């Protein structure tokens, strides 16, 4: 048997994300373009030299740790949302967060360089990462090699499509006006998140009225759904 070494990594940065809980995070990057966040560089990696010329790239690969679920362990078979949430398939055939090594990769759009807490940070969008996600590495997205035009996936060939009609009731519209100045594209952001239908896969066939809440930024957003009608009920500051 081949003897393998163990490796230990320290994060080079941390994500500041509008997603404060796992629920409602899109299942793939780029699906919610209005999701804006920051990648703060830490400790020895908080150096201008490390990101010199990074703005020559429009998009970046982020290698990260699934810190929100890493303590829950993993299993060789997982329930894939694309298979209805009930059928199990091999973990290596999915992008499940429950993996032998809780490591993920995500493509984000680079909007610029800024500072947070006195540290250098990357202004990014289209992210699908939980707030506080530790970042292990940053690599440029190279279109001519990373975009494999002949690639295929029988399980997930195209984005999941929903025909949800998303509306805001009077209360939510009024609250949106009150808080909108503090957030970039808030209404669009909420619409894009809900258009992904963040409910568990097994709930989507339920035709009864269902009510949910989600935390985006420091807001608690309540919404209900029945058949194809999705209504935002309230947008309130978390206390």
pLDDT of residue 81: 73
Q: Does residue 128 fall inside a structural domain?
A: yes
Q: What predicted TM-score, i.e. pTM, was given to this entire model?
A: 0.89
Residue 199 is given by DSSP the state: S
Distance CA 46, CA 115 (A): 10
In a domain, 157, yes or no: no
Whole-number pLDDT of residue 205: 80
Q: What's the confidence (pLDDT) of residue 152?
A: 87
What count of Cα atoms within 13 Å lies in the side-chain half-sphere of residue 14? 9
Print the domain residue range for 175: 165-237
Considering the domain architecture, whether residues 72 and 177 belong to the same structural domain is answered as no
Residue 161: per-residue pLDDT: 65
Q: How many domains does the chain have?
A: 2
Q: Are residues 99 and 197 in the same domain?
A: no
Same domain, 92 and 197: no
Per-residue pLDDT at 153 = 86
Judgement on whether residues 95 and 199 belong to the same structural domain of the protein: no
- The set of residues, in sequence order, having a beta carbon less than 8 Å from that of 162 and lying 6+ positions away, is 195, 196, 197
**Looking up tokens 């339920």, which residue turns up?**
206
Query: Cβ distance 180 to 186 under 8 Å?
Result: yes
User: Are residues 194 and 112 part of one domain?
Assistant: no
Question: Could you tell me if 26 and 100 lie in one domain?
Answer: yes
Nearest to 79 by CA among 70, 71, 89, 69: 89
The answer to whether residue 154 is domain-embedded is: no
Q: Flag whether 4 is in a domain.
A: no
Q: Is residue 80 part of a domain?
A: yes
Asked whether residue 29 falls in the same domain as residue 121, the answer is: yes
The DSSP secondary structure of 12-63, one letter per residue, reads: SEEEE-SB-SSTT--SSTTS-TT-EEEEEE-GGG--GGGGTTGGG-SEEEEE
Classify residue 159: in a domain, yes or no: no
- For the segment 165-176, what is each residue's pLDDT rounded down to a tens digit? 999 999 999 999
Residues of the chain where predicted confidence (pLDDT) is lower than 70: 1, 82, 84-85, 157, 159-161
Q: Is residue 152 part of a domain?
A: no
Phi-psi region of 199 (alpha: psi -120 to 50; beta: other; left: phi over 0): beta
**Cα separation of 185 and 166, whole Å?**
16
Bridge-partner residues for 210, per DSSP?
225
DSSP letter string, 116-163: ETTEEEEEEES----TTPEEEEEEE--HHHH--TT---SSSSS-----
**135 & 51 share domain:** yes
């Amino acid at each position: 048997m081949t003897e393998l070494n163990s490796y230990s990594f320290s994060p080079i940065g941390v994500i500041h994300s509008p997603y404060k809980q796992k629920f409602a995070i899109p299942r793939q990057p780029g699906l919610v373009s209005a999701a804006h966040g920051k990648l703060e560089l830490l400790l020895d990696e908080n150096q201008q030299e490390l990101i010199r010329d990074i703005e020559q790239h429009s998009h970046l690969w982020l290698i990260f740790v699934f810190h929100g679920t890493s303590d829950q362990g993993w299993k060789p078979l997982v329930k894939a949302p694309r298979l209805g949430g009930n059928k199990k398939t091999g973990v290596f055939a999915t992008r499940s967060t429950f993996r032998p090594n809780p490591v993920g990769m995500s493509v984000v759009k680079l909007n610029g360089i800024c500072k947070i807490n006195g540290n250098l940070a990357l202004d990014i969008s289209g992210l699908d990462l939980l707030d506080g996600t530790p970042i292990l590495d940053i690599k440029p997205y190279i279109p001519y090699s990373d975009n494999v035009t002949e690639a295929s996936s029988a399980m997930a060939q195209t984005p999941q499509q929903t025909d949800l009609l998303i509306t805001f009731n009077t209360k939510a519209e009024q609250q949106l006006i009150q808080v909108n100045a503090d957030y970039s594209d808030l209404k669009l952001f909420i619409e894009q998140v809900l258009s992904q239908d963040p409910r568990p896969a097994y709930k989507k066939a339920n035709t009864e009225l269902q009510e949910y809440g989600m935390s985006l930024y420091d807001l608690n957003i309540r919404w209900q759904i029945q058949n194809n009608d999705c209504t935002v009920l309230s947008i309130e500051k978390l206390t």
